[in-house]
Each structure stands twice: as structure tokens, then as C-alpha cells.
Structure 1
Amino acid sequence: MSAIPALLRAALPSIPVVNQLPGVKKAPVAGFTGLTRTRPPVTVDRAAVEAYAAVCGFPTKDVVPLPYPHLLVFDLQMAIMSDPAFPAPAIGTVHVENSITQHRPIAIGESLSVVASVGAPVPHPKGVVYEFVTEVRAGAELVWEETSAYLRRGVSTGSTTEEGSTTEGGSTTEEGASYGMALPEAAPTPIRWELPADLGRRYAAVSGDANPIHLYPVTAKALGFPRQIAHGMWTMARCVAALENRLPDAVRVDVAFKKPVLLPGTVAFGVTPLDDGIAFGLTSPSGKAHLAGRTTSL
């Protein structure tokens, strides 16, 4: 499945007139019970993994970086969002939280099957939340799981027509809204990362997520941003890469996406040890939170 056509299909319900056409018009929120998509077994390709690792700061290994399987489910999530039965257009549906559980490392060359599903929307003070749940299996063995929480602001019954911003990591109008996680704060640190202007294009090339808000100033401005922003899942991956040598084989990583990271830009990475893991975060030079996260040993 091609990521670009999937993104185009996902954008159609946000276009006036087009969004009323059969096959594009969205169903009302009320009565939506869920959708599921699967992909046939896929073999983990070394070249693809190493390209991803290079962009996100992971070392080269014979196992995949912990967040890498998210790339195997991204097109399934887009397929679900572009289905007319899914009530919310992808544009304006904001990725606010993400949780990954790795039961064991996944080796290069393994064959994996992927199932993605979303259930009925969960009420939220700012609208509704859709929880996308992914299971990745090697044969019958569950090796990796993910829950991605997407917030649709201002929608609680059947309206899906208000303007929005992005499916990834932030909003133009407010900082990321908290959903279900109570995450500890990480201590400030002098570690700074300088992020280049082309980071979104580089991550899009390895992930398939070519949302225009991540690519160029002109495409980001068209969707309400002052300039392009980093992918939320890149910020998560970069933090995990910085902690990689301290994480056990079986681990859960939870993150909440806060304020978008403008590119080019500077972020500060901080960590605080916990009894059963590590609290971590990204902040702006002025101290505003971009991401809050924690790891939990299993």
C-alpha cells in the first residue's frame, strides 16, 4: 500500500463539496463501533531498518529499534482513517499519546504479521479520542504492541466538519491535550539537539509518513503552521535511541505529545531515573514541553 495515495485519500473528507461524495462522506460518530485492518506477513528488511536507524539515531544491530514496527502499521492506520465508516477526517485528528510494549527484540529477517484496529470513540473534555491498537506477531507469538491515541477536537456526536491541523504530534491552536497518561517530569539537562530543516523530509523517506506539515515551510503554512514540524513519532524514536542501551529486552514506553517541534529548531533532552524505569522528555530552549515520556521494565 502506497503511503502517498493513502494520505491523499485520508485528506479528501476535509475538502468542501468533495467531502459529501459517496465513498468519501464520513459516517456520524454515534453508532461507530470500530474497524480492523491486517497486512500479510512481511519480512523485516535490513536496509529499511538501517535507513530508519540512521535518521532516528539508533546504532546498527541485528534487531530492530523498539519503535520501528510502527512503520509497518502506519498505512493500516491511514486506511482505517480514510474508510467512510470512520467518523473523523485524518486532517484535524491529532496524535496525542503513544504507548509501545516490546515483549522481546525483533530480529532482522523475521516474518511478522500486523493487525490494526480501532474501537468506539472515548469521550474527552475537548472532543473524542480514538484508540488505535496494533498487534505484531511472529507466527503465533505476540512480540510487539502499540496503542496510539488520536484526539478529534470538538466532536462528540456527528459533526466532523471543523477545521484542524494534523494527524501527527501537535496542533496550531494549543499544546497537545492530555488523554489518559499521568507521566512524571524529567529533570532538566544540558543535552541539546539541533534539528535540521530537512528532518521531516528525511523521516518521511524512511517512514512513509509524507504529511505536508512535515516537509516544507510552504506546505506547513498551508495547514496553519509557521513552518514545517518534526514528526511526533520521530521525537519519540530519538528519545528512545538516546536511552536504548539502558532499556531491557521487555519494556513499555509511553509518551504524550505536547507542543510541536518547529524545524529547524533546538530541543533539550532530559531524563530522571525511576524505580522501574526512566522518565524522559523534550523541551524547547524556553522550557516549554514538546514531549513527556517514561519507560517501564516488564
Structure 2
Amino acid sequence: MTSLALLYLKAGLTGFARHGDVLPSAPLTADVTVDRAHLAAYNEVCGFRVGENLPVTYPHVLGFPLQLRLMTDRAFPFALPGLVHVENRVTQSCALTATDPLALAVHAENLRPHDRGTQFDVVTTAAVDGEVVWTGTSTYLKRGGGAGSGAGDHTAPPRPTGVWRVPADIGRRYAAVSGDRNPIHLHPLAAKAFGFPRAIAHGMWTKARCLAAFEGRLPDACTVEVRFKAPVLLPATVDFSTDGGHFALHHPKSGKPHLTGAFPHSA
């Protein structure tokens, strides 16, 4: 695949020329096999135990090069810089292992209005022997043009079941295993150029870190959905809470949510 670094360079150089309101219809595909060293590195960064089974979030990383190619293609209507990852939903029908050869496909769909702009979904599927066994849907927000206020969540936070220290380098460490080298995650100065006071953690790292807390208790067939509420500024201390099929990360002082999640369908 084309170097991810070159794709980010392309995104920065051509973003000003993006326009339109039609998502490309053709999917991008690739056949992949799991590199065990890469899987082990991902598990270590996200807090999973090292083993043969793939964490439910791991196929997202395998599909990331295709996602990036899709969103940096000349036909894609929105510039990659400035897009906000607001939701992610993953469904798998069975456990996946490091020995499973995966056929990946990525496409964009469901362009729709949002009260702060425009939303769309990037859908990644993984198939084994011709059967789709994993689907990940990432919802992105293109800000601007909406009529809503974008009011936040002001409900009282639940009592934390854990307090996590998030190190300053987690953005760079996760970028090394995920390929997501968006500058807002890598260095404070780069993050400031996009309006953040410090570098921020990847949303998909926060989701994976939360799911690592359920390791051994999450069914092989399940759906896990999250909403990314507010960035985690690095370094950070966050409150983790869980109640049945729900979980969340909150700021320990303000009580504002960073992430809320649920297991709406588990077998």
C-alpha cells in the first residue's frame, strides 16, 4: 500500500481543493494477514493481554490504510484535516484469531446533515472465507453550516470504578502501531495549530483501552459502540466507570465526558 506518511502529506497539500457533496461509491479492498509482532505491540499499547485472539478493535487498525486512501482520494469531497471522529460502532459475529486471513473492504456512505455541519460514515468490513464476520462504522463530522448549538452533555458523572493515568507519549505510541499519524496526536505544537492546547489521545485508543478493562468478559459475538465527547489532553488523568452494558471516561475535576459507550447487542 501507498505509504501512510505520503497520504498524510497529500491530505495537507490538497485539502484546500476539496469540494462537493457526493461520497465516492466504489469500495477499496485488500487481503491481509496478521503480523503477530504488530498484534503484540497493539495489545501492549492498548492494555490487552498478548494472545492469539484479535481484540475487537484490532481490525479497525488493519483497515486504516484503506480508510486513509479513501479519504485522501481526489474524489473525496472533504479535506481530511479538520474532520472529527465522533462515533464508532463495531460488530463481530465470532472471535477472530491471528491465523485468520482477512479480506477487507472500505467504503463511505450515509452523508447527512448534523446540527454542527455534515456527517458521514466510513464502513470497514472483514470477511473470512467469503463471509463478513466484522464490521466497523466510524462516523465523522465535517464542521460548518449547521444550525444547532452543539450543546454538551451536562449530566452528573457516575462514580468511577477506576482512575487511569494517560502518559504524554500515548499519541505517538498508538500512532506507531495504528498508522494514524494525525499531527494533533503527536506533538503539542502541532496540536496547537489545530486549536488544541496540547496533543490529544486517539479516540480509537480510548475505546480500545476501555475494552481492555472487559477482557475475558466480552462475548465473541458482540456489538460495541462509543461516542467521542471531548478530547483527552495529554498527559491526563481520567475516570473510568462501568455499569452493566455501559461504560464511560470522564474528566476527574470537571466531570465532563470524554467517551460514552455501550454493548447494545451481545450474544
**Helix, strand or coil for the counterpart of 1:36?**
coil
Corresponding residue number in structure 2 for 1:297:
266
**Helix, strand or coil for the counterpart of 1:88?**
coil
Q: Pairwise CA RMSD of aligned residues?
A: 2.1
One-letter amino acid of the counterpart of residue 297, structure 1: S
2:93 counterpart of 1:103? yes
**Helix, strand or coil for the counterpart of 1:119?**
strand
Structure 2: which 5+ residue stretches go unaligned? Answer: none
Corresponding residue number in structure 1 for 2:238:
267
Corresponding residue number in structure 1 for 2:250:
283
* Residues 96, 177 of structure 1: 8 Å contact kept: no
2:10 counterpart of 1:9? yes
Using the TM superposition, name which of 81-90 and 245-254 deviates more: 81-90
Using the TM superposition, name which of 256-265 and 184-193 deviates more: 184-193
Distance 1:142 1:185, change over 3 A: farther
How far did 1:155 drift? 4.5
Identical amino acids, percent of aligned pairs: 46
Whole-Å separation in 2 of the counterparts to 1:118 and 1:73: 13
Among residues 56, 59, 74, which one is paired with 2:64 in the alignment?
74
Whole-Å separation in 1 of the counterparts to 2:239 and 2:110: 37
One-letter amino acid of the counterpart of residue 99, structure 1: R
How far did 1:187 drift? 3.3
* Residues 6, 75 of structure 1: 8 Å contact kept: no
* Residues 44, 108 of structure 1: 8 Å contact kept: yes
Among residues 14, 18, 21, which one is paired with 1:26 in the alignment?
18
2:58 counterpart of 1:58? no
**Helix, strand or coil for the counterpart of 2:12?**
helix
Q: What aligned pairs does 1:158-173 form with structure 2 within 5 A after superposition?
A: none
2:126 counterpart of 1:136? yes
* Residues 248, 260 of structure 2: 8 Å contact kept: yes
One-letter amino acid of the counterpart of residue 223, structure 2: R
* Residues 28, 70 of structure 2: 8 Å contact kept: no
Among residues 127, 131, 137, which one is paired with 1:147 in the alignment?
137
Whole-Å separation in 1 of the counterparts to 2:69 and 2:11: 8
Distance 1:188 1:270, change over 3 A: same
Whole-Å separation in 1 of the counterparts to 2:110 and 2:243: 36
Among residues 234, 246, 252, which one is paired with 2:217 in the alignment?
246
* Residues 176, 257 of structure 1: 8 Å contact kept: no
Superposed CA deviations along residues 175-225 of structure 1, whole A, max 9, x for unmatched, are 8979xxxxx998321411101111101001111111111111122112221
**Helix, strand or coil for the counterpart of 1:244?**
coil
Corresponding residue number in structure 2 for 1:85:
75
Normalised TM-score (structure 1): 0.82
2:174 counterpart of 1:207? no
How far did 1:33 drift? 4.5
* Residues 91, 222 of structure 2: 8 Å contact kept: yes
Using the TM superposition, name which of 232-241 and 3-12 deviates more: 3-12
**Helix, strand or coil for the counterpart of 2:42?**
helix
How far did 1:143 drift? 1.3
Normalised TM-score (structure 2): 0.92
